[in-house]
Amino acid sequence: MSSRTPLIIGITGGSGSGKTSVTNAISDVFKDHSVVVIEQDYYYKDQSHLKFEERLNTNYDHPLAFDNDLLIEHIHDLLNNKAIEKPVYDYAQHTRSTETITIEPKDVIILEGILVLEDERLRNLMNIKLFVDTDSDLRIIRRILRDIHERGRTVESVVEQYLTVVRPMHNQFIEPTKKYADIIIPEGGQNEVAIDLMVTKIKTILETDVIV
């Protein structure tokens, strides 16, 4: 890592919006450079103090589900050229795992998650803020396909969760953060033009002596 101040890019959007595809597309371009992705999903709060039955009621789409204090502390550590131990979340036990992942400081930090723009403290750390904006019908289709194939869930359970939790939380907490974005990318990873423009911008910044 160089002595420059790291560039922090925030990428957000609703569940199934394609924000992970955008994150991967950008990070792939810089895979031979100094870049790291920090997923907000890894920073769900530890719930080991709760009974398992109580953990089942966790609303993972609510801001209070995240340990932003730890996330912010870790970003500050990376900014100060210190390695961090990124937590790992155990979705089977609905609490934080004892395992951690060592993350070394990098020149580019991509912070990705559904609510990374909701917390003003996180926003203030970002140099570039992206919102991946995808129609709700596409997002629910993607979520259904993902949860069925990757998580063994039924269509009924996915739709019920979407209607009772995901959709209202999106409308209340995620959609309003669009106003904080510097760039809005429609249709996620399919929008090659927007991604190319973003990559060009990042390259321009990295080629300068000082990141501002």
| Per-residue pLDDT tens digits for 169-202 | 999 999 999 999 999 998 776 788 888 888 888 8
Residue with tokens 């039955």: 53
Per-residue HEC secondary structure of the chain comes to CCCCCCEEEEEEECCCCCHHHHHHHHHHHCCCCCEEEEEHHHHECCCCCCCHHHHCCCCCCCHHHECHHHHHHHHHHHHCCCCEEEEEEECCCCEEEEEEEEECCCCEEEEECCCCCCCHHHHCCCCEEEEEECCHHHHHHHHHHHHHHHHCCCHHHHHHHHHHHHHHHHHHHHHHHHHHCCEEEECHHHCHHHHHHHHHHHHHHHCCCCCC
Establish if 1 belongs to a structural domain.
no
Residue 211 lies in a domain: no
79 belongs to a structural domain: yes
Establish if 37 belongs to a structural domain: yes
77 domain residue, yes or no: yes
Count, residues in the chain: 212
Higher-pLDDT residue of 90 and 210 is 90
Amino acid identity, position 201: K
> What is the CATH number for 90?
3.40.50.300
Give this prediction's pTM.
0.89
CA distance 13 to 28: 20
Which domain range does residue 74 map to? 7-206
Model pLDDT, residue 2: 53
Number of domains in the chain: 1
In a domain, 25, yes or no: yes
Q: Is 34 part of any domain?
A: yes
Q: Would residue 104 count as lying in a domain?
A: yes
Query: Could you read off the pLDDT of 102-138 as tens digits, one per residue?
Result: 999 998 999 999 999 999 999 999 999 999 998 888 8
